[in-house]
């Protein structure tokens, strides 16, 4: 089983895991390796350390600051913090702060402390995350008038920056988040609710700052890169309201199941008894997106073209229910195979973004990427001959599993005759565990949503 980690091991050594299945032979094996190579190129393009280093080195105000306070959270936190330290290597005595990251990514740096805010593979807020978030609030509130703050924000930041409002427990906030996730709510809708239950999100972290200038350097994990949604927008103004948050709960029929403390706080806010999230950022706050799904897809497109494929890039704005997206992509594949429209083989179809999975009553094991690969395979069935499909999270995680995603071709589907049953149960992980299609990289050190690759030879 492949267990290499992007931070510790050269990324090109990662491969898909064979489990109990056999590797494909001939052209299918080449296509799988090509798909993995294209995906690796996408991830390499959004590595956080060089992106942050270049941004800080080109900012004279950060470099000249009397003191630089560093806060933030996310799966790319270690690389981002290392990039900042590298840019300020000649003046590190002026730097202090902490960044909340998943456990296992806390190798010590010289000045920025990496704080374990949650376990790996469990994208949920914890008491340890709360402790780190509260320390960040204290650090920014104690800034001097000449201090500059840098917020390092990346995918997974929302779960790593928990600071529930008074009278709402962490358990109650987590409960409503789970309700929304299971109901298929979009990330925008979930963040709307979470921001109104937080002392830090929705621009409140920036509100706590008392220094001269705050710069947020951002690796985006959200479709369209909206500043108010990435990490629930701790340094960005929030256009949503308490009323909007209540409307989300109503839309999904969740009000009766929502903890009483959450409803009470949201109702109080709608009635003007609790202050709204800030609707305008002060001029001292700047937000910059350094890495995004679009940048990753551009790199994937260039790699696929270099390998000899004609490329159809469907863009970074792909969202919706995973199986519905797979159905739409199946139509594109048929059009290429049968009509050579809008291009003919050898072809590479790319799409990014992030989909959701509405579990309903079925609770198998898997993630949106594994489910996409299985759903597309089931939809195409015998038409999978000559087709290889890969879908994986650029962070190395896919749902509550140890896989980044999966890769499949016709040989994969032939190994297990009950693919439809696995899909019905939302149990893609166990299907690909049997067939050898799981992709296991460990945490990659970045996070710009998903990259999906369909090759036709």
- The 10s digit of each residue's pLDDT in 410-424 is 999 888 878 999 999
In the chain, what percentage of residues exceed pLDDT 70? 94
Q: Kindly report, residue by residue over 422-456, the tens digit of the pLDDT.
A: 999 999 999 999 999 999 998 899 999 999 999 99
Q: Residues 219-243: what's their mean pLDDT?
A: 94
Arch. (CATH architecture) of 11-46+293-456:
3-Layer(aba) Sandwich (3.40)
Output the pLDDT for position 417.
78
Per residue in 317-364, pLDDT tens?
Answer: 999 999 999 999 999 999 999 999 999 999 999 999 999 888 877 679
Mean pLDDT, range 394-398, rounded to an integer? 92
Would you say the pTM of this structure is higher than 0.75?
A: yes
- pLDDT class for 18, splitting at 50, 70, 90? very low
Same fold, 11-46+293-456 and 48-163+198-241+276-291: no
Please write the tens of the pLDDT for every residue from 104-113.
889 999 999 9
Where residue 16 falls among pLDDT bands split at 50, 70, 90? very low
Q: Give domain limits for the chain.
A: 11-46+293-456, 48-163+198-241+276-291
Read off the pLDDT of each residue in 193-222 and give the average, rounded to a whole number. 96
**Mean pLDDT, rounded, for 228-238:** 93
Q: Is the confidence at residue 72, as pLDDT, over 70?
A: yes
- Say whether domain 48-163+198-241+276-291 belongs to CATH 3.30.70.270: no
Q: What is the pLDDT of residue 103?
A: 92
Report how far residue 244's alpha carbon sits from residue 253's, in angstroms, rounded to the nearest whole number. Answer: 14
Q: What's 70's DSSP letter?
A: E
pLDDT value, residue 27: 66
How far is the C-alpha of 22 from the C-alpha of 346, rounded, in Å?
25
Question: Of 55, 220, 223, 275, which Cα lies nearest the Cα of 150?
Answer: 55
The mean pLDDT of 280-285, rounded to a whole number, is 92
**Using alpha carbons only, how large is the chain's radius of gyration in Å?**
22
Whether the predicted pLDDT of 19 surpasses 50: no
d(CA 426, CA 364): 5
């Amino acid at each position: 089983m492949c267990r290499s980690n992007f931070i510790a091991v050269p990324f090109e050594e990662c491969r898909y895991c064979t489990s109990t299945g056999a590797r494909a032979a001939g052209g299918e094996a080449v296509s799988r390796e090509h798909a993995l190579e294209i995906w690796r190129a996408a991830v390499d393009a959004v590595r956080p350390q060089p992106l942050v280093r270049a941004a800080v080195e080109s900012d004279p105000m950060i470099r000249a600051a009397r003191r630089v306070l560093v806060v933030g959270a996310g799966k790319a936190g270690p690389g981002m913090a290392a990039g900042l330290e590298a840019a300020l290597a000649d003046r590190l005595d002026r730097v202090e702060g902490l960044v909340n990251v998943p456990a296992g990514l806390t190798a010590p740096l010289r000045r920025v402390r990496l704080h374990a805010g949650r376990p790996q593979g469990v994208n949920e807020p914890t008491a340890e995350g709360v402790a780190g978030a509260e320390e960040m609030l204290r650090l920014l509130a104690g800034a001097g008038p000449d201090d500059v703050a840098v917020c390092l924000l990346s995918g997974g930041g929302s779960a790593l920056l928990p600071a529930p409002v008074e009278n709402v427990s962490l358990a109650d906030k987590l409960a409503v988040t789970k309700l929304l996730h299971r109901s298929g709510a979009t990330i925008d809708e979930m963040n709307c609710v979470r921001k109104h239950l937080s002392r830090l999100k929705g621009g409140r972290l920036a509100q706590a700052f008392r220094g001269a200038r705050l710069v947020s350097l951002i690796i985006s994990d959200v479709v369209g890169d909206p500043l108010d949604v990435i990490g629930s927008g701790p340094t960005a103004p929030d256009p949503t309201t308490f009323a909007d948050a209540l409307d989300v709960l109503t839309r999904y029929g969740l009000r009766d199941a929502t903890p009483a403390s959450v409803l009470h706080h949201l109702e109080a806010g709608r009635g003007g008894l609790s202050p709204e999230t800030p609707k305008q950022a002060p001029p001292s706050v700047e937000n910059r997106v350094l890495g995004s799904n679009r940048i990753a897809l551009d790199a994937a497109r260039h790699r696929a073209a270099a390998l000899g494929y004609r490329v159809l890039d469907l863009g970074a704005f792909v969202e919706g229910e995973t199986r519905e997206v797979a159905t739409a992509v199946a139509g594109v594949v048929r059009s290429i195979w049968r009509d050579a429209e809008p291009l003919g083989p050898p072809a590479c179809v790319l799409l990014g973004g992030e989909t959701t999975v509405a579990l309903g009553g079925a609770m198998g094991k898997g993630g949106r990427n594994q489910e996409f690969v299985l759903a597309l395979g089931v939809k195409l069935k015998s038409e999978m001959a000559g087709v290889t499909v890969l879908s994986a999270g650029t962070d190395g995680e896919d749902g509550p599993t140890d896989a980044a995603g999966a890769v499949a071709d016709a040989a994969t589907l032939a190994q297990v005759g009950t693919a439809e049953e696995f899909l019905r149960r939302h149990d893609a992980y166990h299907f690909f565990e049997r067939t050898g299609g799981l992709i296991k990289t460990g945490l990659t050190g970045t996070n710009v949503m998903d990259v999906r690759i369909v090759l036709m030879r």
